[in-house]
Each structure stands twice: as C-alpha cells, then as structure tokens.
C-alpha cells in the first residue's frame, strides 16, 4: 500500500506535457483583462504551472502591458516547442547538415570515377592490340610511316628498310657507312631521304634505289630528317648544334640555322609550310624558326632538362616535346607560348612524341620499355602498350591513325592496331 501511494504522489508531482495544458493557457489568457495583466498575478491554473516550457514563457509577461495584437502573438508562441531557440540544437543541426553535404560530395566524386573515368580507362584498353612482332637483325633506331595503312620505314644500323605488312614485301637501302638515325619518304612517293651518323643526308630514287644526292654540310652526327608536305625542302638536326635546311630539287643546303648551344635532337616542318620549323636540343629548349623573317629563332620554349624530340600538331597551333624529365610537354603557340598540359606517366626518359593526323592523340616512346597513348587535353595515359624488352626509341601513328609502329633496342618492330575508334560508355 505504501508503495502504491508513493507512486501516485510521484506521478502527481510530474509536469503536465499534454496538449491540453497549452489549451488551458490559451483559455486563461482569454479570461484576462484586455488592457493589462497585473504584476505578480497568477493567471494560469495549477496544472499549467507544472509545464516548465510554458512557465518560462509566462515569466516574461510579468509587469508588461499587452495589446490585442501582442496577445495574439503570445498565444501563437505558446504553441511552439521551445526547442528551436536553443543554441546547442542549432549548432548540432549545422554540423549534421555539413556532414550530409560532405558525404554527398564524396559520393558524387566516387560515382563519377566509377561510371566515367574508370569505365573510359577500361574501354580505352580495348582500342589497341598487339600484332605479330617483326624481328630485325640489329637495333632499330627509328620508324616512320608509309602512305599505305600498314607500311613503315625502319632505320636498322646502317641501312633503311621499307616494308608493307599487307603485301609482305620489303626493300633495303644500303649505302650509309654508319648508323642511320632517321628516314622519310616524300609525300609524292618519289624520293627517300635518310640521315646518318656519317654526317651525310642521302636522297634516293625509290624506283631505281639509286642515290640522287649526297648532301654534305653537317660536321657531326645527323639525328633527324623531315620533308615538307609539298616536297620542296628537307630539314635536319645534328650534333653540330645546327638545323640544316635543304632544297630537294637543287640538292644543296640553303640555310644553316644557329642558336642552340648543345646537340640538336629533332627538327620538324609545320604541316603545309616549308618556312616554319620547330627544333629541339639538349640545351633544354625548343626553338621556333620562320624563314620568312630571317634565320634567327622567333620563339624559345624552355624546359628543365634536355629535350629529345618535338612535333607540330597538324591541326592546332600546338607543339609536343619529349624530354629527359619523363614528361611529354604540350605547348600553345597561339597566345601564351606556355605549357597547356603535362603528360606524366613514364618512369624513364621519353625519347619521342608524335601527334596523330587529327591532332587529338599523342604517342610517346620511352626508355621504360613502354609506348603510351595520350589524349592531348587529358592528364593520364589512355593506354600503356607493353611488349618491348628494352628501351623504346621511337613510336609513330600510321597514315590512317589506325596503327602504331614502335621500335626498340630489342631488335624488334611492333605493330599495334586499333580495334574501334569509339567505345560506348
């Protein structure tokens, strides 16, 4: 009995939190005088006074006069929960909202990577596949494409080898007395131009395989040769720190461009032009020349390490350079003359970088035994082509961009074919 009585007394002392308590407050306020509320007067019942939240609000009414509008506002305030104005409740809500926002951002980034980036990387790996390997007798220094879809020019020791995969025919051009570093065929298909460590450039007749001209002018190794798209001129880079410009019809040197203070590693014409030239050197620079304004460079692009190769984009006003710093640098020549992208991924020196014919892709060859494909505007390599066992000296797209040729010190030339131009996401 005592226990039950104690329970009843305990329940009687508990505040009334029921909705009826708030209704009783409203009724009591309506019974109060319209003009004022007496100071210290108690206008609520004992049941209402047990509710702490209403009791705190009613303390503010002591000694205050109320109009009819203010009385309405008081009535509305009685129906509030009384918890919204607590500072720790507000801060906790802000923290919860901040956590939810951060979680949503992290989730969005994760979903973007899973459904777009990761899927694109996986799809890009399906674009290229390795074809049978072409074994050469000795190390292969350089490769260049022929006009046929699967034709190539390979520089092997002291000779130039031309072959076509479809016809399975090959031709050798043997005459140089030293290492052949570079070779190209004119766009009209009439002549073959080769450069060698014997300091000479040869112009060959493709049909008769006879040498038309022996071009003398360099005093050291010839590292690269390029032919203008109109078949008018040849440009060459040499260890004698100069860039040579040669006239094909006359078979003689017409310009000697000086400015580099170390070995010149590569030189290329802009597509459709024979007056605009870009060259690279171990002096950590890429230099641009315009023969219409003279034989002095018009722009200099500075690197932090030796530059091994360079190429003009056939479409846009950009240049790609390969460097000892393991990076392919992409430069904008139109306005800023600054790097617009750095293609990072190789783990050793990058020896060559070449654009595709549409200017959207770059292929690079490196001493890390890999060939990489890049989106010019991307940050990561689209695909890593593995197969060579020694350093890769050169890589280039075929004439139709459906194949990639690569050559290495492992005495092989590898062909990589493209399965699809676009893979659906």
Nearest to 379 by CA among 315, 314, 330, 420: 330
Q: What is the pLDDT of residue 58?
A: 46
The whole-model pTM stands at 0.68
Say which residue, 259 or 81, is predicted with more confidence: 259
> CB-based burial of residue 120 (10 Å sphere; 0-12 exposed, 13-18 middle, 19+ buried)?
middle
Tell me the pLDDT tens digit for each residue of 201-235: 999 999 889 999 999 999 999 999 999 988 899 99
**Residue 373 reports pLDDT greater than 70:** yes
**Residue 189 reports pLDDT greater than 60:** yes
**Residue 19 reports pLDDT greater than 90:** no
Q: What is the pLDDT of residue 78?
A: 44
Structure tokens that stand for 129 in this block: 């596949």
Q: Which CATH superfamily is domain 129-418 in?
A: YVTN repeat-like/Quinoprotein amine dehydrogenase (2.130.10.10)
Average pLDDT over residues 396-404: 90
Q: Poorest-confidence range of 42-51, 97-106, 181-190, 391-400?
A: 42-51
Q: Identify whether the C-beta of residue 337 lies closer than 8 Å to the C-beta of residue 320.
A: no
**Residue 75 reports pLDDT greater than 90:** no
Q: Which of 10-19, 89-98, 287-296, 328-337 has the highest mean pLDDT?
A: 287-296
**Residue 276 reports pLDDT greater than 80:** yes
Tell me the pLDDT tens digit for each residue of 97-155: 555 666 665 556 555 544 444 444 444 444 656 665 777 878 899 999 887 777 889 99
Average pLDDT over residues 402-415: 92
Tell me the pLDDT tens digit for each residue of 318-357: 999 999 999 999 999 887 667 889 999 999 999 999 999 9
Q: Identify whether the C-beta of residue 264 lies closer than 8 Å to the C-beta of residue 242.
A: yes
SS (H, E, C) the chain: CHHHHHHHHHHHHCCCCCHHHHHHHHHHHHHCCCCECCCCCCCCCHHHHCCHHHHHHHHCCCCCECCHHHHHHHHHHHCCCCCCCCHHHHHHHHHHHHHHHHHHHHHHHHHHHHHHHHHHHHHHCCCEEECCCEECCCCEEEEEECCCCCEEEEEECCEEEEEECCCCEEEEEECCCCCEEEEEECCCCCEEEEEECCCCEEEEECCCCEEEEEECCCCCCEEEEEECCCCCEEEEEECCCEEEEEECCCCEEEEEEECCCCCEEEEEECCCCCCEEEEEECCCEEEEEECCCCCCEEEEEECCCCEEEEEECCCCCEEEEEECCCEEEEEECCCCCCEEEEEECCCCCEEEEEECCCCCEEEEEECCCEEEEEECCCCCEEEEEECCCCCEEEEEECCCCCEEEEEECCCEEEEEEECCCCCCC
Paired with 288 in beta bridges are: 278, 299
Q: Poorest-confidence range of 78-82, 166-170, 268-272, 414-418?
A: 78-82
Q: What is the pLDDT of residue 151?
A: 85
- pLDDT band (50, 70, 90) for residue 407: very high
- The span from the CA of 296 to the CA of 415, in Å, is 40
Could you state, in order of their start, the residue ranges of all structural domains in the chain?
A: 2-78, 90-124, 129-418
Q: Identify whether the C-beta of residue 292 lies closer than 8 Å to the C-beta of residue 298.
A: no
Q: What is the pLDDT of residue 98?
A: 57
**Residue 39 reports pLDDT greater than 50:** no
Q: What is the pLDDT of residue 32?
A: 43
Contacts of 190 by beta carbon, 8 Å cutoff, 6+ apart: 205, 206, 231
Which residue shows structure tokens 């904008």? Answer: 332
Contacts of 188 by beta carbon, 8 Å cutoff, 6+ apart: 231
Per DSSP bridges, beta strands 134-135 and 370-375 are unpaired
- The span from the CA of 366 to the CA of 391, in Å, is 6
Q: Classify 164 in phi/psi space as left (phi over 0), alpha (psi -120 to 50) or beta.
A: beta
Q: What percent of the chain has pLDDT over 70?
A: 66
Say which residue, 170 or 129, is predicted with more confidence: 170
Q: What is the pLDDT of residue 334?
A: 82
- The span from the CA of 155 to the CA of 132, in Å, is 19
- The span from the CA of 324 to the CA of 218, in Å, is 25
Q: What is the pLDDT of residue 236?
A: 98
Tell me the pLDDT tens digit for each residue of 48-57: 344 444 444 4
Q: What is the pLDDT of residue 37?
A: 41
- pLDDT band (50, 70, 90) for residue 60: very low
Average pLDDT, the chain: 77
- Residue 214's Cα: distance from chain center in Å? 44
């Amino acid at each position: 009995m005592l226990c039950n009585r104690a329970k009843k007394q305990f329940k009687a002392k508990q505040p009334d939190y029921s909705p009826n308590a708030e209704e009783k407050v409203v009724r009591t306020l309506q019974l109060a005088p319209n003009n004022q509320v007496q100071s210290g007067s108690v206008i609520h019942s004992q049941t209402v006074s047990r509710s702490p939240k209403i009791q705190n609000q009613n303390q503010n009414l002591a000694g205050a006069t109320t109009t009819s509008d203010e009385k309405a506002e008081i009535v509305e305030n009685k129906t509030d929960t009384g918890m919204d104005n607590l500072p720790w409740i507000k801060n906790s809500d802000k923290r919860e909202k901040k956590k939810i926002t951060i979680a949503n951002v992290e989730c969005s980034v994760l979903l973007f990577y899973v459904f777009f980036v990761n899927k694109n990387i996986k799809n890009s790996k399906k674009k290229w596949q390795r074809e049978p390997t072409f074994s050469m007798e000795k190390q292969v220094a350089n490769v260049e494409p022929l006009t046929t879809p699967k034709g190539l020019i390979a520089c092997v020791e002291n000779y130039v080898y031309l072959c076509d995969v479809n016809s399975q025919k090959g031709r050798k051009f043997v005459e140089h007395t030293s290492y052949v570093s570079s070779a190209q065929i004119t766009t009209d298909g009439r002549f073959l131009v080769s450069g060698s460590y014997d300091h000479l450039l040869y112009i060959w007749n493709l049909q008769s395989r006879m040498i038309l001209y022996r071009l003398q002018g360099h005093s050291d190794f010839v590292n690269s040769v390029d032919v203008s798209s109109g078949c008018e001129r040849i440009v060459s880079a040499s260890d004698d720190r100069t860039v040579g410009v040669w006239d094909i019809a006359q078979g003689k040197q017409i310009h000697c461009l000086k400015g580099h203070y170390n070995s010149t590693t590569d030189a290329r014409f802009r597509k459709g032009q024979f007056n605009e030239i870009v060259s690279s050197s171990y002096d950590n620079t890429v230099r641009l020349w315009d023969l219409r304004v003279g034989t002095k460079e018009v722009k200099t692009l500075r690197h932090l390490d030796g530059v091994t190769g360079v190429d003009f984009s056939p479409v846009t006003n950009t240049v790609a350079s390969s460097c000892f710093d393991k990076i392919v640098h992409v430069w904008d020549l139109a306005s800023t003359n600054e790097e617009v992208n750095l293609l990072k991924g190789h783990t050793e020196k990058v020896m060559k970088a070449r654009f595709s014919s549409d200017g959207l892709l770059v292929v690079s060859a490196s001493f890390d035994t890999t060939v990489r494909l890049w989106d010019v505007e991307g940050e990561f390599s689209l695909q890593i082509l593995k197969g060579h066992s020694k350093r890769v000296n050169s890589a280039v797209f075929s004439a139709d961009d459906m194949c990639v040729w690569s050559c290495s010190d492992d005495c092989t030339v590898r062909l990589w074919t493209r399965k699809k131009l676009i893979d659906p996401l």
